[in-house]
Structure formats: C-alpha cells, structure tokens
Amino acid sequence: MNTNLADQGQRKGAASLTPFGVKTREIRKEKGILLLDMARLAKVTSGFLSMVETGRKAIPEDLVGKIVSGLNLGHREANELQNAAKLSAREYRVKLKENADPIDRRLAFAIQEQFAKMTPMKKQKILDLLEEE
C-alpha cells in the first residue's frame, strides 16, 4: 500500500473531504443515489452525514455498518468503506505490549510529540520506510 499522503482524497474547495467522504460519494455515484437517500438508509440525518464526510464530525463506530446494511454493499465495498473510515479518524492510539521494548516506547512517543511539527516530506519518508517490504 504505497500511498502518497496527497492521494488520500483530500480536495480543496468549499469543503475538504475526508477519505471516508470521498468513498461515500463514490458509492452514491455508483448507486445513483443522493446524500439524502444514503442518510435515510443509514438512519442518520443528511446534515450529519455531510459533516462526517467533511470531517466536521467524527465517524460513529456503527455508521459504516449502517451504510453497508442500508445499501446492501458487498464485501469489497464494505472493506473499502471501513478502511476509508480508519484513514479519516482524527486521533489514533498506538497499543504497546505490556513488556514493550524501550525503543518501541521511544518511537511511539516521538511520533506523538513530533507529528504536528513534521513536514509533509518527512511524513512521506516515514510512511515509505514503514511500507517497505
């Protein structure tokens, strides 16, 4: 999964879309439905769904399941939507083992402390390093 950070679905304009927003809009286009229809099928308001798509509201844990069920999405689309939701989270947690090595703790802490200050180029270098096979 060698994905450039710029390719995560963020668009400039009236409202930037999260990767989740890009995917839900893609699904609506494929299905020929409107945001209002998707919201109704997922049992949420259209305003709420719009805010989730643009990152102004967090994605509730059950929303992906509601969309998958409401639109009867297949396994592939469901996985893609779930992955897009994960990429759209505002906060991530690193789970360390109880007996984590000091290097594991230092790395997790360094990323947490430095992330907001890193340049996009530095972030891309780290991502490329982590995705090496």
d(CA 66, CA 18): 19
Q: The domain containing residue 49 runs over which residues?
A: 5-87
Residue 17, classed as helix, strand or coil, is: coil
- In a shared domain, residues 79 and 97: no
Encode pLDDT of 99-127 as tens digits.
999 999 999 999 999 999 999 999 999 99
Type of residue found at 68: V
- In a shared domain, residues 18 and 75: yes
Given phi > 0 = left and psi -120 to 50 = alpha, else beta, which region is 72? left
Q: What is the pLDDT of residue 51?
A: 97
The share of the chain scoring above pLDDT 90, in percent, equals 83
Question: Given pLDDT bands bounded at 50, 70 and 90, which one contains residue 133?
Answer: confident
d(CA 27, CA 81): 9
- In a shared domain, residues 62 and 24: yes
For helices 19-31 and 63-71, what crossing angle results, to 10°?
10
Question: Given pLDDT bands bounded at 50, 70 and 90, which one contains residue 8?
Answer: very low
Instruction: Tell me the average pLDDT across 73-89.
Output: 96
Higher pLDDT, 4 or 56: 56
Question: Given pLDDT bands bounded at 50, 70 and 90, which one contains residue 41?
Answer: very high
